[in-house]
Amino acid sequence: MEYYVGITIGPIVQTLELASKPASLWCASSMFSWLSEDLCNRVIKNDWKLFCPFYEEPKEDIKEYCVSADGIGKYHDRLFFKATSDNEEILRKTLTNMISLAKDSLAEKLVGNQENLIKIIKIIFIFVM
């Protein structure tokens, strides 16, 4: 069955408000971009059709897909895609696992209290047939 899925990442505003210097603002913004990029690549690797952000088709020699925008704003705080799954429960478990792996991957990139980071970052998904 085909499902349309939306994922949102946050809390962006509250996190950016904690930044007291330009460098910390950049780092906080980059953190969400890394997370979004990771989720995009996990969607693509599941052979699901990603609508937003728009991805170019990969070339033979490129292992990862690349967002078509250059520079700032490449990765949004939301993803929209079409997924296929045998049933809703399998899709729910797959999405939950995908999100957990993406959060773990982000925590590995950052120095500090990684357990708190994983608790603070919220990634929510919904899907419809």
Distance CA 48, CA 86 (A): 14
| Angle between helical axes of 22-45 and 88-109 (0-180°, round to 10) | 140
Q: What is the pLDDT of residues 65-84, one digit of tens each?
A: 555 445 556 677 889 999 99
- pLDDT over 70 at 57, yes or no: no
Q: Please check the confidence at residue 22 and state whether its pLDDT lies above 70.
A: yes
Q: What is the CATH number of the domain that holds 60?
A: 3.30.70.2220
Residue 98: which pLDDT band, with cuts at 50, 70 and 90? very high
Look up the domain containing 120 and give its range: 2-128
Q: How many other CB atoms sit within 10 Å of the CB of residue 28?
A: 15
Name the domain count of the chain.
1
Contacts 24+ apart (CB under 8 A), 40-43: 40/65, 40/67, 40/75, 40/79, 41/65, 42/98, 42/101, 42/102, 43/79, 43/81, 43/83, 43/98
Which pLDDT value is given to residue 64?
55
Per-residue confidence band for 92, with pLDDT thresholds at 50, 70 and 90: very high
**What percent of the chain is predicted at pLDDT more than 70?**
79
- Identity of residue 11: P
Q: What percent of the chain has pLDDT over 90?
A: 30
